[in-house]
Every structure is written in structure tokens, then in C-alpha cells.
Amino acid sequence: MSADVHAHLAINGAEVAATDLSGKVASSTVKGAVTVGIGEPLRVNGRIETDQADAVELFAILTGAPRPAGASADWVAEPFGQPAAPPLEGRVEFRAANVQWMTGAPAKDLAGAVTFTPSGFSLADVTGRVADGHFALDGVVRRDRGSVFLRSHVKVSNADLPVLLAGALRVPAAGRLSFETEMQGQGLSPASLVGSITGNGTLTAENFEIGSLDPNAADAVLNALEADHGLAGNPARVAQIASTGLDAGKLKIASMTTPIVIADGRAQLTAVQVSAQNADVSGLVSLALADWQLNARIMMTAPPRKNAPGAERPVMTVTTRGPLSAARRSVDVAALISWATMRAIDQEAKRLDEAEKERKRVESTIDALRRQSEAARPPDSPNNNGTLPVPPATGSSSAQGAASGFDRRPRPGGPAVTPGP
């Protein structure tokens, strides 16, 4: 590291005071005043201003963290070594016009104070701007038998989403984000330190929009399935229709607040639930802090539809996985296909049931009309075969004979009388 610094020096015993300090360290312009007390540890007090600072480089100098290879944003798995800076004690106020982190938007106009102890350092009342929003930070870093302990409180208010996630977003986006977290961890290397971090916080989004995530895509899929029932047998084609529908618009959220849970080196939004464009959106978003791997699972519940099976609403699931800057989206349409199929089966069953009820109603009506017709027919009216009805026979055979004018019974004392020709 090259340095070209000028200052007025005053030596008082073991103490050296550097005033009107100005010059360059590496590519950064510095100015200020520092008093250094020679001893073990080295006592340092004063103030420093610079036009730019590299937070990763300063962290490595003070903790012995190995540097990442090239421009990699991954945390290094090699163990912490001996810090390049000697043991320090004291307090230095600082101001930096531009501070670059390992990833994400740089901080602007950062100001605060660092307090050194022989085992580490702490940051207090650090404030600045990030992505056109307000930034605040307090933290403690301490070395302990080869490992490094970290505890911090971070707050970002009203940051511009596209600027905050510059380089990570691959689709159009807009909105303002605010978040606040408390976290801590301890590890033998930068990677294990980040992997051990636990904590919690809150995230709030205002006027949030993100492209290629249109909730109306679920309706587009259902309309296609209703128009072509054979489409249910081609999930790949259905997924293609869903993907096209997602790309057709944006997910728009007026306001959302959700808790942040940090565990096992992952920052997670575990209770995302909000209404957007007549749909309900819920899910889980997880970001691995060690390698910036994104795993997001978003469920889009479409508006209620008529004749829904079991009064259920159709659901489509969108998954995004991979490196934060190159994550890939996929769509799971199995639930939509199942819902549409069950709805078609349910509608057909209802149609058949109505047809059976109508058949029974018609048969009942015909039967009632037949009974009415038979009840209204006169007794001497022709039968169905056109003949008159024959009255049933009554009385004995002798009575019948008498009625015909002949009596074939023998009379007492005389011959039997037979009818003449």
C-alpha cells in the first residue's frame, strides 16, 4: 500500500501529535489530526476524513481476515490470521464520502467513531446514506483465541430499491425499502463467521414493483385450461403459458411489513403475505449470506371463481433459485391443473345430476298425466282396444234362464217341457 502524507508533527515524550494531516493513502485522499502514544498497545486518538474507503480492506487489516480472490463476493473459508494493524487503544472519529462494501450499494457521507481495544474495536453512532436512504450502524468486533466475534445493529430507511440491489436485479423494479436488524456470530474464518450469524429484524416495502411476476398469470392459465380441456395433459405447455403470463406485467404492492429471521447464515423473510392485483401473495424468501444464494418460493392465490371445487381458490407457485445476480425462475402449475381438472369433473357431475333430476321429473309428469286420464274416462267408453266393456255376470243359472223366457225345470206330475223350435 503506497502512502504520501504530509503533517505537522509535535513530539512530547512517548506521544506524537500529527496535525494538519493531508495526502493520499493508496488511492484515497485523507486529512485530519491524530495523536499516537507509543507503547503496547499503541494509543491512538483523533479524527480522519477521506474521500473513499474500502470496508472489506479495513476489516481485513483489523481482524486478519484473508482477502477474497479477485472480484469474488464470496466470503473466504481460510482462517483468520494475524491482524496487519498492531494492538490499538483509543478513539478516532471518522468521515468518508464514499464507502464500498463487499456487495451492494456503497454508503455515502458516512460518519461516526471507532473505539479500539487490544482485543478488537467497536463502531458507535455511525450514520450515512445508502441508496438515497438513511443508514445507521453500531457494532462490536472482537478477536477471541483465533476466532472473531461480531455483533451489530443495522438500520436502513427509505432506500431506493433498484439502487440498493444494483447488480442483483435482472428485471425492472421500483419502490422504497426499509429494514432494521440485530445480529451476531462467531467463527474461525470469514465464511464460518457469516455462516454462524443469527438475529432478527423487520423489513418494510412501500410502492413496491417488480417485473416478470404478474399475479394475473394464474388467471391466464385457468382461462387456457377451460378453453382446452386437453391442455391439462401437457404440463410443459401449461408452464410455458404461465411463464408468458408472469412476464406480461409486474407484482405491485402498496405497502408490506414482514419479519426478518437470520439463522444458519441465512436472512429469511418467513411470513410474506400481502394482497396485490386481486390476488393474495405469500411465501418465503431466503438469502444465504456466505455465498449470496437466493431461494424464493412465492405462492399466488388467484381470485375466487364460480363453481370452484370445495370453494377453494386456485394457487400457482413461482420459485427463484441461484446466485443473487443470476437466479433462475421456474413455475409449478401442478396445483392449477389439479384445480381445473377437479372443477371440470365437479361441473360434469353436477350436469349429469341435473340431467337425471330432469329425467325423473319428466317421467313423474307423464305418469301423473296418465293417471289423470284414466281417472277421467266414463265407464261405457271404449277400452284401449276399441271394444265396449262387458259387465260382470250376476245371479244363478236358473235366474238367467228365467230371464230369457224359458224354464227347463220339470214340473211336478207332468212331463218335462222343452222349448219349441
> Using one digit for the tens of pLDDT, what is the confidence trace for 55-68?
988 999 999 999 87
Which pLDDT value is given to residue 418?
42
The pTM of the full predicted model, rounded to 2 decimals, is 0.76
104 pLDDT more than 80: no
168 pLDDT more than 80: no
Which pLDDT value is given to residue 382?
57
397 pLDDT more than 60: no
Adjacent-strand bridge partners of 137: 126, 154
157 pLDDT more than 50: yes
Range 96-112 average pLDDT: 90
Q: What's the pLDDT tens digit per position in 273-324? A: 888 888 899 999 999 988 888 999 999 998 887 777 767 888 999 999 998 8
Which pLDDT value is given to residue 368?
84
**CA 332 – CA 13 distance, rounded (Å):** 74
Which pLDDT value is given to residue 326?
86
Q: What is the rounded end-to-end Cα distance, in angstroms, of the chain?
A: 161
* Per-residue pLDDT band at 404 (split at 50, 70, 90): very low
* Per-residue pLDDT band at 229 (split at 50, 70, 90): confident
Rounded percentage of the chain residues whose pLDDT exceeds 70: 88
Range 81-94 average pLDDT: 94
Q: Where are the domains of the chain?
A: 39-196, 198-371
Count of C-beta atoms within a 10 Å radius of residue 387 = 8
Rounded percentage of the chain residues whose pLDDT exceeds 90: 55
For the chain, the residue count is 421
Lowest-pLDDT range, 3-12, 167-176, 385-394?
385-394
CA angle 29, 57, 14 (to 5 degrees): 70
* Per-residue pLDDT band at 374 (split at 50, 70, 90): confident
All residues at 6 or more sequence positions from 138 whose CB lies less than 8 Å from its CB, including other chains:
122, 123, 124, 125, 126, 152, 153
Give the alpha-carbon dihedral of 47, 51, 55, 58, to 10 degrees.
-50
Residue 28 gets which letter from DSSP?
E
Q: How many angstroms separate the Cα of 218 from the Cα of each of 77, 84, 112, 314?
A: 43, 57, 50, 8
* Per-residue pLDDT band at 387 (split at 50, 70, 90): low
Which pLDDT value is given to residue 70?
61
**CA 251 – CA 205 distance, rounded (Å):** 13
Which pLDDT value is given to residue 138?
97
Q: What's the pLDDT tens digit per position in 111-156? A: 999 999 999 999 999 999 999 999 999 999 999 888 999 999 999 9
Which pLDDT value is given to residue 383?
55
91 pLDDT more than 90: yes
Contact 113, 137 (CB under 8 A): no
Contact 104, 164 (CB under 8 A): yes
96 pLDDT more than 60: yes
**CA 89 – CA 40 distance, rounded (Å):** 9
Which pLDDT value is given to residue 263?
93
Q: How far is CA 381 from the centre of its chain?
A: 82
258 pLDDT more than 90: yes
* Per-residue pLDDT band at 73 (split at 50, 70, 90): low
* Per-residue pLDDT band at 79 (split at 50, 70, 90): very high
Contact 88, 116 (CB under 8 A): yes
Range 241-253 average pLDDT: 93
